[in-house]
Structure 1
Amino acid sequence: MMQNMSQSLHSHRALLLPFRHSNRHARPCRAVTPQVRAGLVLPQNPIGIHSGVFVGDWKPQDAERAIKGAKEAGYDLIELNLSVPEEVDAKLTKELLDKYDLKAAGSLGLSMATDISSSDEEVRQAGIKLLTGAIEALNTAGGQDFVGVNFGAMDKYRKPLSAEQWKTCAKSLKEVAQKAADYGINYGLEVVNRYETNILNTSYQARALIDDIGMDNVTIHLDTYHMNIEENSMEAAVKDAEDKLGYIHIGESHRGYLGTGSVDFEGLFRALAETGYKGPLTFESFSSVVVSPSLSTTLCVWRDLWEDPDDLAAKAHKFIEGNWAAAYQLCARPKAWTKPT
């Protein structure tokens, strides 16, 4: 009996552990295959992918390349880069999404010139205008989640967060989140590392800001790349977010192939399963192979961590699907009975 139990736990753990590889681009040699216990119904979380895995621009041919690639790799959702919303043909995007039966989310990062936490009213209004345009584009494309660093500049601040900055940020977010609510869109605040904002570096801080905003459609967007830098643990970050967790970016510590870096995916998926997370699980990865004029330099994408977007996308999907299934069935396993004391 003990031998069978040991074999069972080893089988589940094999699904949860990342794969290690030694070749130059650290490509996984095999994919995770879900092993779902008979009769167990998994939650239908959409598995998404960032458009930047496939393309840097959003010209008609790029849009179809990305959407088709996401569908062929098995994804349910594609996250659109809305940093320059006027360059996104939202109507065409909606047609392509319908053609390939795919859902959409949208994201961006504000700059110092569009920082809605700024005390400069001209800068603040420029940010609100940009965010409004992005929300409108996402609505036209049929998306329901608007995420990213949409609360301040995605840049390295040279001063710590001030009470005035926090207050201005909350005031601005009430305004733009209301515009999102009018379209039935969730407004997800992405918690990122200290080098990309001085406002939200932890899940706990995001929860506090949401309490000050006081709007039901404002949620927390966690990203494993950033959590790996700032949080005490994956579990703690997920549990700090509680019921406000609405979106997850699944990314490796070096932004390359999943399972080849230092991110604790076992802890992440276990916490998501234990808390009953029902939102998207979106893969995000960047390489100098795909250059985005609005993102690559901002995110300091200097290395080619992968060369084949389709291979990367397919293996990432299997990794997410397999690890989510394994974590969920472990969580759903009936607890052992113990005699009451």
Structure 2
Amino acid sequence: MRRLGIHSFVWTGGQTQEGLEMALRKSAEHGYRTIEFAYLRPERFNLDKLAALAKSLDVEIGVTMGLPVDKDVSSEDAATVKAGEAMLADALRAVRDIGGNKLGGILYSAHTKYNRQPTRKGWDNSVATLGRSADFARECGVDLVLEVVNRFETNLLNTTAQGLKFIQETGSDHLRLHLDTFHMNIEEANPAAAIRLAGDKLGYFHIGESNRGYLGDGVINFDLIFDALLDIDYQRDIVFESFSTAVVDEGLSLACAIWRDTWTENDPLAAHAKAYIELKQAEAKRRRATNARP
């Protein structure tokens, strides 16, 4: 069943147990039924307590992450690839232990601006690693979804077509794509067509504006996006993502190039995003109903 969610970075930098618990409560308060956490380190957080709170609030948990350079599974160095695969396994265990339902993000390479082209050996290393990780994800009862992001955050998967090719080469039926309107707006010639191309391989969807701020305050045509989601009968989670240095830490701000803040108050941002998404969903359904009339 599709749930509307929000990234925890709207509420907290994610550095403390108290911050994550607050993010869960604020998400539920605003009517969101799923939350996205960044990589959860079991040694830092009480996962059992977070799981119990989420269950009491009827909020599902998904987790996303990006690999660091020294654990890049698209590397040609065997030790680096092995370290990355171990990190993915640890992350899957954490998602399982918190009662989460998915691990997404940049799982197939480092989250960085590369200064080189990808190599065939690196691609093959990543494909093999994610194929094995998908098997472990299935054992954990966790969906594994690969986020297709822009050229400044990976050199491997920038388009839906590349993502589908990657999944096909793994031979796994437990891998799906994680698409994001912010990244698609940069890389896809036609984001709506890319959604239709993904079809039933679309496993997770991020809604974000071109400036990572308020929805409708940028250049993305969300009417076309929601029409396409209807066309493929998308029934999985839709999660709002937005970043501001008012909340997230310096490391993420640097990784995602958050050089200016498009918002500083998160409550109105979260309320607006939920209302905007629900409006666009309703408008898409009305357009379909009108077009279906003889």
TM over 0.5: yes
What corresponds to 2:109 in structure 1? 152
Distance across 2 between alignment mates of 1:315 and 1:170:
39
Q: 1:47 deviation in Å?
A: 0.3
Q: Identity rate of aligned residues, in percent?
A: 38
Instruction: Report deviation, 1:175.
Output: 1.5
Any gaps of 5 or more consecutive residues in structure 2? none
Alignment of 1:321 with 2:264, yes or no, is no
- Cα deviations across residues 278-306 of structure 1 (Å, max 9, x unaligned)? 11110000001012355222112222221
1:115: which partner in 2? 72
**Unaligned ranges ≥5, structure 1:** 1-43
- Counterpart contact for 1:57–1:293, Cα < 8 Å: no
Residue 166 in structure 1 maps to residue 123 in structure 2? yes
Q: Does 1:89 align with 2:49?
A: no
Of stretches 320-329 and 209-218 in structure 1, the one that deviates more from structure 2 is 320-329
Distance 1:266 1:223 in 2: 15
Moved over 4 A (4+): none
Find the aligned partners of 2:26 and 2:46 in 1 and give their Cα distance. 18
**Deviation digits for residues 165-190 of structure 1 (CA, Å, limit 9, x no counterpart):** 11111011012111111012111010
Report the TM-score when normalising by structure 2.
Answer: 0.96
Larger relative helix fraction:
2
Question: Does the 8 Å contact 2:61/2:99 carry over to 1?
Answer: yes
Contact 1:56–1:293 (CA<8 Å) still a contact in 2?
Answer: no
What is the rounded CA distance, in whole Å, between the counterparts of 1:191 and 1:281 in structure 2? 15
* Residues 196 and 231, structure 2, Cα contact 8 Å, conserved in 1: no
CA shift, 1:266, in A, is 1.0
User: What is the TM-score normalised by the length of structure 1?
Assistant: 0.83
Between the aligned partners of 2:130 and 2:251, the Cα distance in structure 1 is 23
Secondary structure in 2 matching 1:219: strand
Q: Give the RMSD, CA atoms, in angstroms.
A: 1.5
- The DSSP-based 3-state class of the residue aligned with 1:143 is coil
Paired residues in the alignment total: 294
Alpha-carbon spacing, 1:324–1:303, altered in 2? closer, same or farther (3 Å): same
For residue 153 of structure 1, what is the amino acid of its counterpart?
Answer: A
- Larger Rg computed on CA atoms: 1
Write out per-residue CA displacement over residues 87-118 of structure 1, whole angstroms, 9 at most, x where no aligned residue: 33221210110222210100001121110111
Once residues 63 and 221 of structure 1 are traced to their aligned partners in structure 2, the CA distance between those partners, rounded to angstroms, is: 23
Instruction: Spell out, residue by residue over 1:32-67, the C-alpha distance to the aligned partner (whole angstroms, 9 max, x if none).
Output: xxxxxxxxxxxx520011111100024221122100
1:206 is matched with 163
Question: Contact conserved, 2:73 with 2:122, CA < 8 A, in 1?
Answer: no
Structure 2 residue corresponding to 1:270, chosen from 210, 227, 238 = 227
